[in-house]
């Protein structure tokens, strides 16, 4: 019996097989876990089977086969559908199961979700991640958890399979999501600030290569300036790591969360407006380094705006 | 004759013996230069003589003794006084001398200064620095120069005595100052952003120690968050590295410079307002990490505001 339990603990459900979920699936499989994946895109069955995993055609099937489910869907709406939608997970997971929520979601939603799942005997682990698709592929994500300590310890081997840095903030659900939101505040502000700085340098006729190098050499450095700065310097907004619209979403979440706390966040607000303006100009799918376009109208190689589309008075 | 010239080239005038100037003096002396210092504070004569340098009681004396002068005064007003004030340097420096301007100043002023000094046969090297008093003491400053390449090469040994990273942006005076201004834009925005993020975390009841560690571990990192964050986390606003009012000055310079270029800088503007508000509350001399106080009214150990001073309706 013990052996059977141990074996079942090695079965991990994985909902959401996008860029993040794929990397996590590969790392779980590499560490010896049996992975049962699910995605609304049924054509991903072939992909996960090729990696050595299984595909569940319904959430009901996944719920019956797994006691630990990791969720990498996009947001709270998709999480709600996965758990409480028609034939959702909640009716099929056995009591004592653990739902590990890795999506970036409103902290208040996550807090309430913990209470709702508890009513069905399901444990929630609030567990947003940072590190992006690259971190997911390498298994080097930072996982910021909150929830019962015993639950965290129980699923630690699962988290360690794809996370290099695990944090447990405490038992209050939503704390992990709060910290993720604050993380996105800084990422978004630093990225917009890099655009503001480099666009001003460009306006003043400074050589952007040396400018970027000098700014990275000292107190003006940020991870975002180092990572996205070269794309701004070269106008390579087609090298898409993460899109402008992701920051429209995340900074929108920052502002909504801050507002719930009656907290004015003027820098986050200014950064949000920069991303939103760039998205509104039709560049929402461009690389997020294109926030620089809010400050500088620089020609983008390959861009050919329709006549009258550019600089049209409103 | 050659030997005399070589010897005279080893004499460096140094105007401004504040925190920055002192560090630079020590590094010049350690590298074998003869240093003739000057400061409006005549009591610094004892200090520089104790280091092995000489003190000039007047700018006239300094101008007669040196062909290379390094200036570490506070701003453009002091630079103007040093050069063109009563008995200023310009009347006493011999043609061919080099004035190395290391202060943070408006780029337009520096550009014009190059033209004015040239009329008297004096070469200007636009040479603002980053790295702070600690960098000056260690001789590890970054020196961002602009001006004639031959002049830069001529004084390179002097710059190398206190600078670990030397950049030459080109021959256009003011370019170095422009880049320094942009450097300060990022430093100020990153510092205010760190305050905004940590104050929001505090408002939401997150543990600030883990929060700071998580934020520093990935894409949310900035040099300012790493350096000033711990003081924000602990409310140690009395550990003064650089004061709030320095950023009121520097971000003010950023906004004025941006305005001259008809460049809107909303993030710099929001950060400026945060520093200005904290200064307006009587905290201008506190460590610049106290910009966090704009977002969070947290008790500061040792602070005891006069009754009615706190939260007085305007």
Domain end (from B136, B171, B206): B171
Kindly state the tokens that stand for A179. 């910290």
Choosing from A31, A180, A249, A262, which is the catalytic residue?
Answer: A180
Task: For residue range B70-86, list pLDDT tens digits in order.
Answer: 999 999 999 999 999 99
CB contact under 8 A, A193 and B185: yes
Burial class (CB in 10 A: 0-12, 13-18, 19+), A148: middle
Distance in angstroms (rounded) separating the CA atoms of residues A145 and B31: 53
Q: How many CB atoms lie within 10 A of CB A227?
A: 16
Is B84 within the bounds of a domain? yes
Q: What is the DSSP letter of A279?
A: I
Q: Give pLDDT tens digits for B14-36.
A: 999 999 999 999 999 999 999 99
How far apart, in whole angstroms, are the C-alpha atoms of residue A262 and residue A256? 10
More confident residue, A103 or B9: A103
Residue A194: closest CA among chain B residues belongs to which residue?
B186
Tell me which of A114, A141, A171 is where a domain ends: A171
Residues A293, A283: contact at Cβ < 8 Å? yes
pTM reported for the whole predicted model: 0.90
* CATH number for the domain that contains residue B274: 1.10.1040.10
Q: Which of B54, B138, B270, B2 is nearest to A264 (CA)?
A: B270
Q: Does B55 touch chain A (CB under 8 A)?
A: no
- Is A313 a member of any domain? no
| Domain annotation covers residue A304 | no
Contact yes or no for A162/A35 (Cβ under 8 A)? no
CB atoms within 10 A of CB A96: 11
- Rounded to the nearest angstrom, the minimum Cα separation between A41 and chain B is 30
A291 inside 8 A of chain B by CB: no
CB A132 within 8 A of CB A241: yes
3 state SS of A164: strand
Q: State how far the Cα of B72 lies from the Cα of B238, in Å rounded to an integer.
A: 25
Rounded CA-CA distance B108/B175 in Å is 9
Query: What's the token pair of residue B310?
Result: 């706190």
Token pair belonging to A230: 């070269």
Average pLDDT (A3-15) is 72
- Tell me which chain B residues have a C-beta less than 8 angstroms from the C-beta of A186: 193-194, 197, 215, 220, 222, 225
Do residue B192 and residue A267 have CB atoms under 8 angstroms apart? yes
Same domain, B125 and B203: no
Q: Do A206 and A84 sit in the same domain of this protein?
A: no
Residue of B nearest to A197 (CA): B182
State the average pLDDT over residues B282-292: 96
| A274 within domain boundaries | yes
Return the percentage of chain B with pLDDT > 90, whole number.
87
User: Using one digit for the tens of pLDDT, what is the confidence trace for B77-124?
Assistant: 999 999 999 999 999 999 999 999 999 999 999 999 999 999 999 999
CB spacing of B186 vs A224 below 8 angstroms = no
Does residue B183 share a domain with residue B167? no
Residues 6+ positions from B2 with CB-CB distance below 8 Å: none
User: What is the per-residue pLDDT for A296?
Assistant: 77
Tens-digit pLDDT profile for residues B182-241: 999 999 999 999 999 999 999 999 999 999 999 999 999 999 999 999 999 999 999 888
Q: Which of A267, A295, A297 to mutate to test the interface with B (most CBs of B within 10 A)?
A: A267
Q: What is the four-CA torsion angle of A146, A149, A150, A152, rounded to 10 degrees?
A: 40
pLDDT tens, residue by residue, A253-287:
999 999 999 999 999 999 999 999 999 999 999 99
Task: Give the whole-angstrom CA distance, residue A82 versus residue B153.
Answer: 67
Q: Which residues of A touch B197 (CB under 8 A)?
A: 182, 185-186
**Cross-chain Cβ contact A179/B185 below 8 Å:** no
Give the closest of A182, A193, A274 to B211, CB-based.
A182
Same domain, A148 and A203: no
CB count in 10 Å sphere of residue A262: 7
Residue in B185, B206, B223 nearest the CB of A175: B206
User: What pLDDT does residue A310 have?
Assistant: 43
C-alpha torsion A230→A236→A242→A244, nearest 10: 110
- Same domain? For B24 and B150 the reply is yes
Let me know whether B282 and B236 are in one domain: yes
Instruction: Identify the closest residue of chain B to A228 by CA–CA distance.
Output: B219
Please, is A70 exposed, middle or buried when counting C-beta atoms within 10 Å of its C-beta (0-12, 13-18, 19+)?
Answer: buried
Phi and psi at residue B287, to the nearest 5°: -60, 145
Q: Looking at the domain assignment, is residue A308 inside a domain?
A: no
Asked whether residue A101 falls in the same domain as residue A250, the answer is: no
CA atoms within 13 A on the CB side of B64: 8
Q: What distance lies between CA B61 and its chain's CA centroid?
A: 26
Beta strand spans in chain B (E): 11-15, 34-38, 54-55, 68-71, 98-101, 123-126, 129-130, 141-145, 163-168
Q: Is B71 helix (H, G, I), strand (E, B) or coil?
A: strand
**pLDDT tens, position by position, A78-110:** 999 999 999 899 999 999 999 999 999 999 999
Say if the Cβ atoms of B271 and A267 lie within 8 Å: yes
Residue B291: closest CA among B306, B308, B305, B273: B273
Ordered alpha helix ranges (H), A119-243: 132-138, 149-162, 175-203, 208-216, 223-234
Looking at the fold, whether A184 and A265 belong to one and the same domain comes out as yes
Alpha helices in A31-174 (DSSP H): 44-50, 59-65, 76-84, 107-118, 132-138, 149-162
Q: Are B51 and B25 in contact (CB under 8 A)?
A: yes
Among B171, B199, B224, where does a domain finish? B171
| Distance, CA of A245 to CA of B35 (rounded, Å) | 57
Q: What is the mean pLDDT of residues B38-66?
A: 97
> For chain B, what is the domain count?
2
- A167-172 LR contacts (CB < 8 Å, sep 24+): A167/A142, A167/A143, A167/B210, A167/B213, A167/B214, A169/A144, A169/A145, A169/B206, A169/B207, A169/B210, A170/A146, A170/B207, A171/A146, A171/A147, A172/A111, A172/A146, A172/B205
Q: Give the domain extent around A183.
A: 178-294
In angstroms, rounded to a whole number, what is the distance separating the alpha carbons of residues A127 and A140?
A: 15
> ipTM score of the complex?
0.90
User: Counting runs of H as helices and runs of E as strands, what totals does chain A give?
Assistant: 13, 9
Question: Which residues of chain A does B179 touch, with a Cβ-Cβ cutoff of 8 Å?
Answer: 201, 206, 210-211, 214
* B266 located within any domain: yes
Average pLDDT, chain A: 92
Q: What is the pLDDT of residue A304?
A: 43
Indicate whether A26 and A161 sit together in one domain: yes
Inter-residue contact B87 to B60 (CB < 8 Å): yes
Task: State whether B10 and B129 are in the same domain.
Answer: yes
Q: Are A186 and B215 in contact (CB under 8 A)?
A: yes
Q: Are residues A187 and A130 in the same domain?
A: no
On whether residue A309 sits in a domain, the answer given is no
Q: Catalytic amino acids of B? A: 180
CATH code of the domain in which A98 resides: 3.40.50.720
- Domain co-membership, A149 together with A34: yes
pLDDT in tens, B182-191: 999 999 999 9
Q: Judge whether B310 lies within some domain.
A: no
| Separation CA A138–CA A131 (nearest Å) | 10
């Amino acid at each position: 019996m013990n052996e059977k339990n141990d074996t079942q603990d090695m079965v991990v459900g994985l909902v959401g097989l996008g860029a993040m979920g794929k990397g996590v699936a590969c790392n779980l499989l590499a560490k010896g876990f049996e992975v049962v994946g699910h995605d609304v895109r049924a054509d991903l069955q072939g992909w996960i089977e090729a990696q050595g995993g299984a595909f569940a055609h319904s959430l009901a099937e996944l719920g019956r086969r797994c006691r630990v489910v990791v969720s990498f869907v996009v947001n709270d709406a998709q999480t709600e559908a996965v758990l409480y939608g028609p034939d959702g997970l909640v009716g099929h997971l056995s009591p004592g199961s653990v739902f590990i929520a890795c999506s970036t979601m409103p902290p208040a939603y996550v807090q309430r979700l913990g209470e709702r799942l508890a009513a069905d005997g399901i444990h929630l682990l609030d567990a947003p991640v940072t590190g992006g698709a690259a971190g997911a592929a390498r298994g080097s994500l930072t996982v910021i958890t909150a929830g019962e300590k015993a639950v965290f310890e129980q699923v630690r081997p699962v988290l360690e399979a794809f996370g290099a840095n695990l944090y447990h903030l405490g038992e209050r659900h939503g704390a992990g999501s709060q910290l993720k939101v604050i993380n996105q505040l800084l990422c978004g502000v630093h990225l917009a600030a890099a655009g503001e700085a480099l666009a001003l340098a460009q306006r003043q006729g400074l050589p952007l290569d040396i400018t970027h190098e000098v700014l990275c050499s000292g107190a003006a450095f940020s991870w975002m300036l180092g990572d996205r700065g070269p794309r701004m310097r070269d106008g390579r907004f087609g090298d898409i790591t993460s899109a402008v619209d992701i920051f429209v979403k995340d900074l929108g979440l920052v502002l909504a969360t801050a507002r719930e706390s009656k907290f004015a966040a003027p820098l986050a607000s200014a950064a949000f407006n920069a991303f939103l303006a760039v998205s509104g100009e039709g560049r929402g799918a461009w690389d997020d380094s294109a926030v620089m376009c809010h400050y500088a109208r620089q020609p983008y190689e390959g861009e050919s705006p329709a006549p009258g589309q550019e600089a049209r008075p409103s």
